[in-house]
Amino acid sequence: MKKNVASICCVAFTSLLLACLCARAQAPVAAETPAQRDARMAWWREARFGMFVHWGLYAVPAGEWKGRTDLAEWFMDATGISREEYAKFAAQFNPVKYDPDEWVRIAKNAGMKYIVITAKHHEGFAMWDTKGTDYNIVQRTPYAKDVLKPLAEAARRAGLHFGTYYSIMDWHDPSQSPAQPGKHYNPTKMDPARKRAYIEEMKTELAELIHETHTEVLWFDGEWMDWWTNADGRELYAYLRGLAPNLIINNRVGNSRNGLMGMDKGEGVGDFGTPEQNIPAQGFGPGVYWETCMTLNDHWGYNQHDNHWKSPEVVIRNLVDISSKGGNYLLNVGPTAEGTIPAPAVTILGEVGKWLNVNGEAIYATAPTPFAGDHGHWEADAKADGKDKRHWIPRWDWRATSKPGKVYVHLFEWPGKTLRIDVGAVKVKAATLLADPKHAPLKFVQDGKTLDVQLPDKPLDPIDTVLVLDTAK
Ligand code: FHN
């Protein structure tokens, strides 16, 4: 009898303990108010500009294989190489030139405020010493050291934030296999008998990233397979926020994003949307967080042949365009297998940093444009079938960002001596040029919503000269 009572008490206690742990795991999610969420997102919202890093075994072939030169982080799927053959690249991965402080210097010099690095991409290779799998940098490479924690510590020494990318889809894990005949790896299908164990392996690995690197952002990807559901994403999101209440998690933790447009189709999961290789036509209004991620050339992972680099002008104007719509810009570098960031990328990012050194006030911690129509307008397409369509006509002469009491007008095209813009209900008290060290006042006339500003003959910066309007309360 006594034994029964004892065992009943034990079961009851265990159930109570599990209930408390589950409740704790759900607590940060259920209880967070919009104001608390905005506070949690504050550093990320104000940062505006981050470095994405795609680094893994795919850096070893560096884009080449059996005559092909178009490869990168999708090497396995593009070539159909076997898992065993691909895993041999690990024996050649020895980034002896890896210097995390140098990578952080490059990011900081570019004006970037956070770094997000691939901890595990679709290839399934872990870039840290994880207990989740022995397919990792410490156990399988001659380098035999974790690269994530040193980067996290270097970032924090320099005042930058640190985040990690994690692919839910894993082309190396035995739980998964190609979902479609003839397809090499993507998308995977999950062995139903192994799904729970794989999710527990992911939780082990993600908990390590949280506890060992103190990652502040978890950037999920590879979520598009049928076997990964929004419910799975909700459970994982709650678990992770239970471990780290201030963690910021993107919307790819669930499975309801609108493809590369990146925003949720419906009731999504996660803290921010993830447009990829594109900038939305307009913003999404207050409280909707989003970040455009983009390559600097045409590949995420290192490709030795890819010299199609975006110019500093394109990068700066993308950053301004995104900021004027209330988004963040996560711009990618693909380091070599030796551990260096390609020189052209360093040069371009250095030029971007020079512009931000002078004009960063008009980007960091800004709010979107207060004006309407400065991004472009919709034009109707009267269709014969009567189903009128409309298409967006972007404008590219200027953008605007704002802060309380200020509007920053980013002039891409120099309008000559007079700038006329429709400022709507904004009342202008003063006008200066941000790059003018003397901040000499500019003459202006405002007649209702029409503002005319007298400008110097030439722009102070050929890419973007920022006009600062001090506005009446
Ligand atoms: O398949 C990945 C790709 O390799 C890269 O990581 C991008 C950037 O986030 N995301 C996926 C493609 O949408």
Q: Ligand 1 in contact with 300 (CB < 6 A)? A: yes
pLDDT at position 5 is: 47
Q: Ligand 1 in contact with 146 (CB < 6 A)? A: no
Q: Cα(first)–Cα(last) distance of the chain, in Å?
A: 78
pLDDT at position 354 is: 98
Chain center to CA of 372: 27
Comparing CA positions, the residue from 47, 52, 45, 41 lying closest to residue 241 is 41
Comparing CA positions, the residue from 462, 414, 116, 459 lying closest to residue 311 is 462
Q: Ligand 1 in contact with 75 (CB < 6 A)? A: no
* 3-class DSSP assignment, residue 260: helix
Distance 221 CA to ligand 1 centre (A): 7
Give the closest residue (by CA) to ligand 1 atom 4: 73
Distance 109 CA to ligand 1 centre (A): 25
Identity of the residue numbered 112: M
Pure H helices in 97-160: 100-109, 137-140, 148-157
Distance 302 CA to ligand 1 centre (A): 13
Distance 331 CA to ligand 1 centre (A): 13
Distance 183 CA to ligand 1 centre (A): 18
Q: Ligand 1 in contact with 93 (CB < 6 A)? A: no
Q: Ligand 1 in contact with 73 (CB < 6 A)? A: yes
- Write out pLDDT tens, residues 117-147: 999 999 999 999 999 999 999 999 999 999 9
Distance 74 CA to ligand 1 centre (A): 9
Q: Ligand 1 in contact with 293 (CB < 6 A)? A: yes
How far apart, in whole angstroms, are the C-alpha atoms of residue 27 and residue 146? Answer: 32
Q: Ligand 1 in contact with 223 (CB < 6 A)? A: no
Index of the ligand 1 atom closest to the CA of residue 274? 9
Give the CA distances from residue 92 to residues 130, 140, 227, 437, in Å, rounded to whole numbers and listed in that order: 20, 10, 33, 52
Q: Ligand 1 in contact with 276 (CB < 6 A)? A: yes
450 - beta bridge partners?
Answer: 422, 447
How far apart, in whole angstroms, are the C-alpha atoms of residue 316 and residue 28? Answer: 37
pLDDT at position 378 is: 81
Q: What is the pTM of this model?
A: 0.93
By most ligand atoms within 8 Å of CB, the mutation choice from 260, 300, 328 for ligand 1 is 300
Q: What is the mean pLDDT of each run of 10 residues along the chain (473 residues)?
A: 47 50 52 92 98 98 98 98 98 98 98 99 98 97 98 98 98 95 93 98 98 98 97 98 97 96 91 98 93 98 98 98 98 98 98 98 97 80 68 86 98 94 95 97 97 97 98 78
Distance 181 CA to ligand 1 centre (A): 22
Q: Are strands 428-433 and 465-471 parallel, antiparallel or unpaired?
A: antiparallel
Instruction: Dig out the tokens for 341 from the structure.
Output: 């960031």
282 Rama class: left (phi>0) / alpha (psi -120 to 50) / beta: beta
Distance 121 CA to ligand 1 centre (A): 9
Element (H, E) at 195: helix 195-208
pLDDT at position 377 is: 80
Report whether 328 contacts 279 (CB < 8 A): no
* 3-class DSSP assignment, residue 37: helix
Taken in order 179, 185, 191, 197, the sign of the CA dihedral is negative
pLDDT at position 1 is: 38
Kindly write down the DSSP assignment for every residue of 60-112, as one continuous string.
Answer: TTTT-BTTB---STTHHHHH---HHHHHGGGGG---TT--HHHHHHHHHHTT-
Q: What share of the chain is helix, strand, coil (3-state, %, to 5)?
A: 35, 20, 45
How far apart, in whole angstroms, are the C-alpha atoms of residue 350 and residue 114? Answer: 16
